[in-house]
């Protein structure tokens, strides 16, 4: 949403189109309206713009409207629409104060869902104790309000910034400005006259306030200084954008993983390019302890490469964990794609998930052994079960067996695995003898032969315990091929 003919909206909309284009995306719809700061658009023009916009059914709306009447009309109309009630409202800090301080009572009459309002700003919230600088602010501002909170007609209590997030955010911003200015006064030589002081502000300045960083500030550069890391003609302040959500208490709260950092080596956003992100989903199955452990290990490994909020080409992979039961994975996946863009699914999957032909799966880990998925939407990075069976038979079974090999399989694709086994043994000159199928609740112990080679595919934890007791007696070996959720092994008895 943006308004034409006012001081805010046109340029922001054009920049959004440019950024989305670079990412390979486009807006699904636009509410655009000619407006003015001293009046409002006609009802006919407003309704015509709304009728073009509403049928696009957006998941989220970026509001590039000035804090004027037409912007409030749009928000009132948006919040009163049952069809668009579930969409997120994305608001830059410019509108934050108008909404919270001036329009809140009127908006609350409509179907206002506070948790759907996401805002951005240049400073952390006053109650965000993650930052050392904020904790220092709380101490400084608490002392100040205790002493001066009742002066000049104010009625601020010591902890005012805790209960009033918008006021608190402005206080944090003012405190940061004061800390920066204090640091500019740190050298007597630079205070000898006004010109010297002003020039010093652009003498490769960067201000570190505990764990907050402000800058770079740089003037004219000589030669190739800019190519070697100097900040040239740069008047850039903070490099971090803080995202907040509105709670049911009408206060603001930090968004989890909602801090985005701009590269400090680049001055101004017109040099920055955003690239299409890879938004991954990983399931955590609440009713499957083994799958939960796999998900935790997968998440820990992926955390080394998952995006940390550094905008740019190197920070494009984001992995979100989705809780589900084993029987509801597909349903939860369908609900998830209604809420966010999902590029691919990683980690543990089941047959129901893999049946989704319009979703990409990257190196999926099946709940039970299964052959390579034939779909082009499934990318296998790890060796498939066909490849592992081939290596096991070629390198272990055929050179060491003197007869037919017994096979025991636990899988949702028993017929396919049996076919691969027979073809593999035939191609490599081996002999596949007895073939048994077991269900998830059955044990392989009673099917194990007293001697010879047995190939077991789809081991459970209970199977491993039972096989160890047999191997302790025989003293023989087990060869395993491993694929996270399941094992296949050959046992020489």
Q: Which CATH number does the domain housing residue 430 bear?
A: 3.40.50.2300
- Given this model, what pLDDT does residue 109 score? 60
Nearest residue to 353 (alpha-carbon basis) of 339, 341, 367, 340: 367
pLDDT higher than 50, residue 107? yes
- 65 and 106 share one domain: yes
pLDDT tens for each residue of 80-97? 788 887 788 898 887 877
Instruction: Choose the weakest-confidence range: 221-230, 450-459, 471-480.
Output: 471-480
- Given this model, what pLDDT does residue 152 score? 73
Task: Compute the distance between CA of residue 283 and CA of residue 291 in angstroms, rounded to an integer.
Answer: 9
Nearest residue to 121 (alpha-carbon basis) of 102, 95, 99, 140: 95
- 311 and 344 share one domain: yes
Task: Please indicate whether residue 114 or residue 457 has the higher confidence score (pLDDT).
Answer: 457
Q: What is the mean pLDDT of residues 464-469?
A: 76
Q: What is the mean pLDDT of residues 247-261?
A: 83
Task: Compute the distance between CA of residue 358 and CA of residue 353 in angstroms, rounded to an integer.
Answer: 11
**The domain boundary residue, chosen from 318, 335, 367:** 367
Task: Please indicate whether residue 310 or residue 26 has the higher confidence score (pLDDT).
Answer: 26
Task: Please indicate whether residue 158 or residue 143 has the higher confidence score (pLDDT).
Answer: 143
Task: Compute the distance between CA of residue 211 and CA of residue 240 in angstroms, rounded to an integer.
Answer: 12
Query: β-strands 378-379, 360-362: how paired?
Result: parallel
- Given this model, what pLDDT does residue 111 score? 61
- Given this model, what pLDDT does residue 484 score? 46
**The domain boundary residue, chosen from 169, 199, 233:** 233
- Given this model, what pLDDT does residue 21 score? 86
Question: Would residue 254 count as lying in a domain?
Answer: no
Question: Would residue 44 count as lying in a domain?
Answer: yes
Distances (CA, A) of 200 to 174, 182, 225, 237: 22, 14, 18, 16
The structural domain count of the chain equals 4
Task: Compute the distance between CA of residue 56 and CA of residue 74 in angstroms, rounded to an integer.
Answer: 15
Question: Would residue 49 count as lying in a domain?
Answer: yes
- 332 and 410 share one domain: no
- 327 and 401 share one domain: no
Nearest residue to 491 (alpha-carbon basis) of 455, 443, 445: 455
- 11 and 103 share one domain: yes
Q: What is the mean pLDDT of residues 396-411?
A: 84
What count of residues does the chain have? Answer: 493
Q: Which two tokens stand for residue 82?
A: 């049952």
Percent of the chain with pLDDT over 90: 31
- 356 and 283 share one domain: yes
- Given this model, what pLDDT does residue 275 score? 75
Q: What is the mean pLDDT of residues 466-485?
A: 59
**The domain boundary residue, chosen from 121, 153, 185:** 121
Question: Would residue 245 count as lying in a domain?
Answer: no
- Given this model, what pLDDT does residue 126 score? 93
Q: What is the mean pLDDT of residues 424-429?
A: 92
Residue range(s) defining the domain that contains residue 91: 2-121
Q: Which two tokens stand for residue 479?
A: 């060869």
Indicate the pLDDT class of residue 318, thresholds 50, 70 and 90: confident
- 8 and 112 share one domain: yes
Instruction: Choose the weakest-confidence range: 70-79, 103-112, 171-180, 434-443.
Output: 103-112
Task: Please indicate whether residue 256 or residue 322 has the higher confidence score (pLDDT).
Answer: 322
Tokens 């199955």, residue?
A: 285
Phi, psi torsion values for 124, nearest 5 degrees: -70, 160
Percent of the chain with pLDDT over 70: 88
- 167 and 188 share one domain: yes
Phi, psi torsion values for 33, nearest 5 degrees: -150, 135
Question: Would residue 238 count as lying in a domain?
Answer: no
| Three-class secondary structure assignment of the chain | CEEECCCCCHHHHHHHHHHHHHCCCCCCCCCEEECCCCCCCCHHHHHHHHHHHHHHCCCEEECECCCCHHHHHHHHHHHCCCCCCCCEEEECHHHHHHHHHHHHHHHHHCCCCHHHEEEEECCCCCCCCCCHHHHHHHHHHHHHHHHHCCHHHCCCCCCHHHHCHHHHHHHHHHHHHHHHHHHHCCCHHHHCCHHHHHHHCCCCEEEEECCEEEEEEECCCCCCCHHHCCCCCEECCECEEEEEEECCCCCEEEEEEEEEECCCCCCCHHHCCCCCCEEEEEEEECCCHHHHHHHHHHHHHHCCCCCCCECCCCCCEEEEEEEECHHHHHHHHHHHHHHCCCCEEECEECHHHHCCCCCEEECCEECCCCCCCCCCCEECCCCCHHHHHHHHHHHHHHHHCCCCEEEEECCCCHHHHHHHHHHHHHHHCCCEEEEEECCCCCCCHHHCCCCCEEEEECCCHHHHHHHHHHHHHHCCCEEEEECCCCEEEEEEC
- 18 and 65 share one domain: yes
- 219 and 288 share one domain: no
Q: What is the mean pLDDT of residues 267-283?
A: 76
Q: What is the mean pLDDT of residues 161-185?
A: 90
Indicate the pLDDT class of residue 355, thresholds 50, 70 and 90: very high
pLDDT tens for each residue of 185-233? 888 888 888 889 988 888 888 899 999 998 888 888 888 888 888 888 8
- 308 and 356 share one domain: yes
Ranges 22-26, 426-430, 468-472, most confident: 426-430
pLDDT higher than 80, residue 335? yes
Q: Which two tokens stand for residue 404?
A: 């037919």
Nearest residue to 76 (alpha-carbon basis) of 46, 52, 108, 49: 108
- 10 and 104 share one domain: yes
Q: What is the mean pLDDT of residues 328-352?
A: 91
């Amino acid at each position: 949403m943006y308004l034409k003919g006012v001081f805010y909206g046109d340029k922001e909309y054009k920049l959004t189109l440019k950024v989305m284009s670079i990412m390979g995306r486009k807006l699904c719809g636009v509410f655009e309206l000619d407006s003015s700061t001293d009046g409002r658009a006609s009802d006919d023009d407003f309704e015509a713009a709304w009728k073009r916009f509403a049928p696009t059914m957006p998941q989220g709306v970026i509001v590039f409207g000035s804090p004027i009447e037409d912007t409030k009309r749009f928000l009132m109309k948006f919040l009163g629409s049952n069809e668009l009630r579930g969409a997120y409202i994305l608001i830059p800090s410019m509108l934050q104060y108008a909404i919270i301080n001036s329009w809140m009572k009127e908006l609350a009459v409509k179907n206002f869902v506070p948790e759907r309002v996401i805002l951005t700003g240049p400073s952390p919230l006053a109650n965000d104790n993650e930052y050392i600088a904020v904790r220092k602010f709380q101490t400084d501002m608490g002392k100040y309000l205790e002493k001066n909170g009742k002066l000049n007609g104010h009625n601020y209590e010591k902890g005012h910034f805790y209960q009033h997030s918008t006021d608190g955010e402005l206080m944090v911003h003012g405190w940061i400005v004061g800390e920066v200015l204090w640091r500019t006064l740190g050298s007597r030589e630079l205070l000898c006259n006004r010109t010297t002081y002003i020039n010093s502000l652009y003498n490769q300045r960067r201000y570190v306030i505990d764990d907050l960083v402000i800058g770079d500030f740089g003037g004219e550069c000589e030669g190739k200084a800019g190519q070697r890391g100097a900040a040239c003609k740069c008047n850039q302040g903070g490099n971090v954008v803080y995202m907040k959500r509105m709670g049911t208490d009408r206060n603001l709260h930090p968004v989890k993983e909602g801090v985005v950092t701009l590269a400090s080596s680049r001055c101004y956003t017109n040099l920055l390019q955003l690239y299409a992100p890879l938004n991954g989903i990983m399931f955590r199955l609440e009713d499957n302890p083994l799958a939960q452990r796999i998900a935790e290990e997968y998440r820990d490994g992926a955390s080394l490469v998952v995006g940390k909020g550094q905008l740019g080409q190197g920070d494009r992979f984001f992995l979100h964990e989705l809780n589900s039961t084993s029987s509801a994975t597909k349903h939860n996946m369908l609900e998830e794609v209604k809420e966010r863009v999902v590029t691919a699914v990683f980690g543990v999957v089941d047959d129901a998930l893999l049946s989704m032909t319009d979703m990409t799966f990257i190196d999926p880990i099946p709940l039970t052994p299964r052959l390579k998925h034939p779909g082009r939407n499934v990318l296998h990075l790890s060796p498939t079960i066909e490849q592992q069976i081939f290596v096991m038979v070629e390198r272990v079974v055929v050179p060491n067996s003197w007869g037919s090999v017994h096979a025991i399989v636990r899988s949702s694709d028993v017929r396919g695995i049996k076919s691969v086994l027979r073809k593999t043994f035939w191609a490599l000159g081996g002999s596949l003898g007895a073939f048994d199928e077991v269900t998830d609740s059955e044990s392989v112990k009673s099917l194990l032969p007293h001697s010879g080679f047995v190939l077991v595919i789809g081991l459970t934890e209970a199977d491993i315990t039972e096989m160890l007791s047999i191997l302790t007696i025989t003293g023989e070996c087990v060869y395993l091929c491993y694929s996270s959720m399941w094992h296949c092994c050959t046992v020489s008895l």
